[in-house]
Structure 1
Amino acid sequence: MAKKKHKHEEHVNLERWLVSYADFITLLFIVFLILFSMSAVDAAKFQALKESFQQVTGSGSSLVMPAPGSTSTPSANINTGASKKKNDIAAEKEKFEQIKKKLEEYAQSKGIEKNVIINIDQNGVNVTVTGTILFANGDATLQPAAKAIVKDMFNIINTIDNPIRIEGHTDNIPIRTAQFPSNWELSTARSTNLIRYLIEEYNFNPKRLSVGAYGEYHPVAPNGTPADRAKNRRVEIMILSSQSPIDKTPKSGEH
């Protein structure tokens, strides 16, 4: 009979638990170090710990939080930026309300409140001057009486350093002269002449200014009556908000 071979018993490694135990103790040690560092609120020590941990694990930046109170805390930066923006918008809106009130009081004092309309919208403060307050019919030269009005109004407008946009509009009555072949040229000349006047007479910073011209194509009323056509012959002076979707010139503190 063949002899049966004896199977050797497998050797059981009774020390495997030591590996897991060592990992556990190491992680526990790191946790206590982090808690101690956070309680001390010492940014320099915390940074040193973070760098040491990065060298050991190679991933410390994702596991170790920024030091308490550190400027590198993302949520703190986001909240601070959002809060500042909200405060800036609120301050700008309050300033716009003050300008609107002063312009309305000025228009009433001069008896031109029917021709000077002030509104606040998403673009900022919109000052609409209609009729012949600034320019005679078919002309783009500032009238003598208009210069005093412009001066007074811009003393109020210029209390804020936001960009200014000036837009010219006409009624639908065609004009064909050597100077103005169409209403396009007339509306352009009116807005640009007002801008030139501000720059030349009051040293207004050109970087704050922009111009638009729309001819007869953006009416605010039907052109069926003289009164409605007078509403469409207008210049709009816009104090642009920092939130305005309209393209803006850079802000500047110089006037």
Structure 2
Amino acid sequence: MSRKKQKHHEEHVNLERWLVSYADFITLLFVVFLILFAMSSIDNRKFQALAQSFRNIKGSGASLILPAPGSAATPKANVGASGKNQQAKLEEEKKKLEEVKKKLEKYAKERGIDKNLNINMDKNGVNLTVTGTILFANGDASLQPAAKAIIKDIFKIINTIDNPVRIEGHTDNKPIHTAQYPSNWELSTARSTNLIRYLIEEYKFNPARLSVGAYGEYHPVVPNTNDANRAKNRRVEIMILSKEAASQNPQSGEAKVN
């Protein structure tokens, strides 16, 4: 091949490279106008969706993503602000749950029933465990007459917040074989559901906040080796759930037997 032809070929290659660069410039210019058009829209949600789509692009043009209209923060900064808001809500909820716990403890002590009302708090919320025969007589699921005043006082405190409430029934390991309660499963279920029904009918408690569980004799807190221990295992647990814990539990209003 002659030198003249080689030189002509090299010039042709340089021309193609110039066209590629020009095409990249036109593409970036199109992206700029597209973003400007999106910024002119009032719909901030659509803009964020557009920004997210370009954020996933690797290479040239990724740095052109601008803040949403009316905001000086970048999308990354917005995510950070959202995280801070969520953390603030969690801290506020924790504070309210702690206040409820203190009020319940004070009430139990003033009423002289603190030995039968065990109150603790963990990541799931506040757990109020009622043991012995305060609510129900042995082998029965009908609320004791004296229990109704206690329930009224307890749920007056609980109702100062709007968190979901889960009620769980437990029994000791003494077998029961009656026409009404063929086993401890039925007994524990009746106790938890009777309490929920009473709350709804007597105090108009919001049913959407309530869920129920029944465990029979199979989740004792202590071994069923004597009467004192069996009294601890005969219990109703009233759980004031945090919003996060409630989202991981059965939906409020559903009855679940475990």
Q: Give the TM-score taking structure 2 as reference length.
A: 0.75
- Residues 158-215 of structure 1: CA distance to partner in whole angstroms, max 9, x if unpaired? 1111111100011111112121111111111110110000000011111111111111
Matched, 1:10 2:4: yes
Contact 2:67-2:75 within 8 A present in 1 as well: no
Matched, 1:159 2:160: yes
Q: For residue 250 of structure 2, what is the aligned residue in structure 1?
A: 247
- Residues 103-150 of structure 1: CA distance to partner in whole angstroms, max 9, x if unpaired? 000000000011001111232111100001111111111111111110
- For the residue of structure 1 that corresponds to 2:250, the secondary structure is coil
User: Greater CA deviation, 189-198 or 87-96?
Assistant: 87-96
- For the residue of structure 2 that corresponds to 1:204, the secondary structure is coil
Deviation at 1:235, TM superposition (A): 0.2
Contact 2:135-2:144 within 8 A present in 1 as well: yes
- For the residue of structure 1 that corresponds to 2:244, the secondary structure is coil
Q: For residue 131 of structure 2, what is the aligned residue in structure 1?
A: 130
Distance 1:8 1:135, change over 3 A: closer
Contact 1:163-1:248 within 8 A present in 2 as well: no
Q: For residue 199 of structure 1, what is the aligned residue in structure 2?
A: 200
Q: Distance in 1 between matches of 2:55 and 2:20?
A: 17
Deviation at 1:21, TM superposition (A): 7.2
Q: For residue 146 of structure 2, what is the aligned residue in structure 1?
A: 145
Matches within 5 A, 1:24-173: 43-44=39-40, 62=57, 63=61, 65-68=64-67, 70=69, 73-173=74-174
Q: For residue 38 of structure 1, what is the aligned residue in structure 2?
A: none
Deviation at 1:19, TM superposition (A): 7.3
Deviation at 1:247, TM superposition (A): 2.4
Cα RMSD over matched residues? Answer: 3.5
- For the residue of structure 1 that corresponds to 2:150, the secondary structure is helix
Contact 2:68-2:75 within 8 A present in 1 as well: no
Deviation at 1:74, TM superposition (A): 3.5
Stretches of structure 1 lacking an aligned partner (at least 5 in a row): 1-6, 36-42, 46-58, 251-255
- For the residue of structure 1 that corresponds to 2:127, the secondary structure is strand
Deviation at 1:66, TM superposition (A): 2.6
Distance 1:19 1:180, change over 3 A: closer
Residue identity opposite 1:227 in structure 2: A
- For the residue of structure 2 that corresponds to 1:80, the secondary structure is helix
Distance 1:9 1:76, change over 3 A: closer
Deviation at 1:9, TM superposition (A): 4.7
- For the residue of structure 2 that corresponds to 1:235, the secondary structure is strand
The structure with the larger Rg is 1
Residue identity opposite 1:209 in structure 2: L
Residue identity opposite 2:222 in structure 1: A
Residue identity opposite 1:131 in structure 2: G
- For the residue of structure 2 that corresponds to 1:148, the secondary structure is helix
Contact 2:192-2:212 within 8 A present in 1 as well: yes
- Residues 33-63 of structure 1: CA distance to partner in whole angstroms, max 9, x if unpaired? x99xxxxxxx549xxxxxxxxxxxxx99941
Contact 1:123-1:246 within 8 A present in 2 as well: no
Q: Distance in 1 between matches of 2:55 and 2:145?
A: 73
Distance 1:167 1:31, change over 3 A: closer
Distance 1:151 1:18, change over 3 A: same
User: Greater CA deviation, 227-236 or 77-86?
Assistant: 77-86
User: Greater CA deviation, 71-80 or 86-95?
Assistant: 71-80
Distance 1:211 1:15, change over 3 A: same
